[in-house]
Chain A
Amino acid sequence: MNRHKVETVVHGIFLVMGLITIACVLMITIYLIIAGIPAIREIGLIDFLFGTEWASTAADPRFGILPFILTSIYGTAGAILIGVPIGFMTAVFTAKVAPFKVRMIIEEAVSLLAGIPSVVYGLVGMLVLVPGIRKLFDIPDGASLLAAIVVLAIMILPSIINVSLTALEAVPKEYEEASLALGATEIETYFRVSVPAAKSGIAAAVVLGVGRAIGEAMAVMMVSGNAPNMPDSIFQSVRFLTTAVASEMSYSSGLQRQALFSIALVLFLFIMLINALLNSLMKHDKEG
């Protein structure tokens, strides 16, 4: 009887803990929706999403966030384009090829990379990468979409490497042994057998990288220049969805502030979409 009571109480505690977390998510979601809708209504959904000009404090303010949306998409795509091949190859090498000692070093380095605060990435980017790009490409200023892409590519490496690594390690040894026994070389085995067997895990790694890249603000803000231009070239000074919110929030007021919440809502929807994609991949992984 007494034992049963303890059991019930413990169950209750766990339930409350779980509910607190769910309540946090719900609160944030509801708050964002409530705070984000008014400005969209006032500006008009089409003008807001597809307007190409952002001048929030002008006498005749314009609130078009297409430049931010495109920049976020281009920036993330660029980071994936650079980061995924590097991260994927590193994962294959670490999981299958590398000797134990080398593997330890790589894993150490990756976890260190994951632990570096984003402001440090931004600082190094600002002082090394931005002047470097300016000199290398002989352009007036190096703070650009390219600088942001490079920083993001490095920042998403740890997530890509770690998740791919786990997926590759989960491939049953028998698959590889069978392939080797049939006369395939080791490299053939890794790329023809291990990687296809781990493909949904690797896809999840890519999606996770996308999520990380699209949500990053601090580091990007320090290297991208933050001018609200349409991203016509990778050397242009651009502003991301995240940095649009972060850079103007502290001094904002009125419709400008409401519009920033609307941007946050758009960003939130992007992240939700990515999460849904990730969940379906994970589910597919379990079933397959």
Chain B
Amino acid sequence: MKKSIAIIAAAVLAMGALTACGSSAEETTAAATEAASTAAEAEAETEAAAEETEAAEEISGAVATDGSTSMESVIGILGESFMQENPDVTFTYNPTGSGSGITAVQEGRCDIGLSSRALKDEETEAGLKGETLCLDGIAMIVNPENPVADLSIDQIAKIYTGEITNWSEVGGNDEEIVLIGREAGSGTRDGFESITGTEDLCQYRQELTSTGDVITTVSQNPAAIGYASLASVSDQVKTLTVDGVEPTEDTVRDGSYTIQRPFVMVTVDGQALSAQAQAFYDYAMSSEVADLIAQAGAVAIH
């Protein structure tokens, strides 16, 4: 009898503890669901690829990539076509962010890390090797209602550091400029701030955690300005020209559009990849995928 009371007490205790972390458990579930759906998509892709049996080489197994959310469209399209050519390969992409991707490849949790910024010195010193896959322009976006069409790099820097606070100072309406940016650590933010020389100086009104959120927010507010990967910009917002140069594939590749950054594939230096991962790496770096990369909105360089 005493024993059963003890057990019931334990169960009650445990239930109390469960309620205690109810809300955080919800978050975890949400994250897990997201991961599951990504996995499911990847699986669906594999199945689709398996149906078209045009296998050329005998490669099988899994290729795991992990990293930058900005590289989603590029990596998605490369992975899909790679699996179509190699039906026995399962390709996965885990969109966690450049920092996480680099850590993941370092810890051996994935084959290839994806970073939307060049590796830092401390990362190359730690034995990592990065090779540029393609380039990405960072577009300056404003609300379609905004009459301003062109800004200079200098003006952009002044706007983001709070020296220019009203659109009328750069030829727009008399409205206070609302600065939208990305969270600390984001590859896009890092790229934008280092190119414009505004590191640690930006007076953001909003710091959002994804490119999609930035675009949505800018499309909702006529006085907003934001930055987003050129590949992801949609019709919801207006893209500005910078110093008179429109962000396009050509202007990014020849360097005349200055707000751009590299998309990097990260591996551990001196450590051989699995056959299938190496095949994907070579495939992604080859010139035959230039069209696919362009289709994803980035600028191929190989």
* A residues whose Cβ falls under 8 Å from a Cβ of B: 11, 14-15, 17-19, 21-22, 24-25, 28, 55-60, 117-119, 126-127, 130-131, 134, 140-143, 211-212, 215-218, 221-222, 225-228, 237, 239, 246-248, 250-253, 256, 271-272, 275, 279
A256 touches B184 (CB 8 A): yes
| 3 closest A-B pairs by CB | A251-B185, A215-B23, A21-B14
Task: Chain A residues near B43: list those with CB within 8 A.
Answer: none
Chain A residues with Cβ below 8 Å from B20 are 25, 271-272, 275
- By a CB distance below 8 angstroms, the chain A residues around B7 are 11, 14-15, 18
18 sampled A-B residue pairs with Cβ under 8 A: A14-B7, A55-B200, A56-B184, A58-B199, A58-B200, A117-B30, A118-B30, A141-B205, A141-B221, A226-B208, A226-B209, A227-B207, A228-B207, A250-B99, A250-B100, A251-B186, A272-B20, A275-B16
Task: Tell me the bound Cα distance from A237 to B3 in angstroms.
Answer: 55
* Alpha-carbon gap, A250 to B30, bound state (A): 15
Nearest A residue to B24 by beta-carbon distance?
A215
Given A140-B178, A143-B205, is A279 in contact with B23 using a C-beta cutoff of 8 Å? no
Determine if B185 and A250 form an interchain contact, defined as CB atoms under 8 angstroms apart. yes
Shortest Cβ distance from B120 into A: residue: A253
B18 is an interface residue with CB less than 8 A from chain A: yes
A121 to chain B, nearest CB (A): 12
State which of B54-62, B79-87, B212-220 sits at the interface with chain A: B212-220
A271 contact set on B, CB distance < 8 A:
20-21
Q: Cβ of B216 and Cβ of A21 under 8 Å apart?
A: no
Tier of interface size on chain B: 35 or more
Q: Using A250-B96, A252-B99 as known contacts, say yes or no to A57 and B221 having CB atoms under 8 A apart.
A: no
B contact residues around A24 at 8 Å (CB) = 17
In the complex, A211→B20 CA distance in Å?
A: 9
Chain B residues with CB under 8 A of A225: 205-207
User: Are the CB atoms of A118 and B26 closer together than 8 Å?
Assistant: yes
A19: B residues at CB distance < 8 A: 10
Cβ–Cβ < 8 Å partners of B220 in chain A: 126-127, 130-131
Q: Are A222 and B96 in contact (CB under 8 A)?
A: no
Render B100-139 as a binary contact track against A, CB cut-off 8 A, 1 for contact. Answer: 1001000000000000000000000000000000000000
A227:B11 contact, CB within 8 angstroms: no
A56-B184, A225-B206, A237-B206 given; A253·B99 CB < 8 A: yes
Let me know if A126 and B217 touch, CB within 8 A: yes
A18–B10 CB distance below 8 A = yes
Question: Are A212 and B23 in contact, CB atoms less than 8 angstroms apart?
Answer: yes
Asked if B98 CB lies within 8 Å of chain A CBs, one says yes
Partner among A11, A17, A22, A143 whose Cβ is within 8 Å of the Cβ of B3: A11
Question: Which of B13, B19, B183, B200 has most A Cβ within 10 Å?
Answer: B183
User: Which residues of B201-235 are within 8 A (CB) of A?
Assistant: 204-209, 213, 216-217, 220-221, 223-224
Inter-chain contacts of A211 with B (CB < 8 A): 23
Task: Say whether A251 contacts B24, CB under 8 Å.
Answer: no
Task: Kindly provide the distance from the CB of B35 to the nearest chain A CB, expressed in whole angstroms.
Answer: 13
Known A-B contacts: A22-B10, A25-B20, A58-B200. Give 8 more (CB < 8 A).
A19-B10, A21-B14, A58-B199, A130-B220, A216-B23, A218-B27, A222-B213, A246-B27
- The CA of A60 and the CA of B223, in the complex, are separated in Å by 31
B4 within 8 A of A: yes
Inter-chain contacts of A25 with B (CB < 8 A): 14, 17, 20-21
In chain B, residues 1-39, which have Cβ atoms closer than 8 Å to a Cβ of chain A?
A: 3-4, 7, 10-11, 13-24, 26-27, 30
The reply to whether the CB of B176 lies closer than 8 angstroms to some CB of chain A is yes
Check A226 against B4 for contact (C-beta < 8 Å): no
Decide: A226 near B10, CB < 8 A? Known: A25-B20, A140-B175, A141-B178: no
Interface flag for B247 (CB, 8 Å): no
Whether A248 contacts B183 in the complex (CB less than 8 A), given A11-B4, A59-B200, A279-B16, comes out as yes
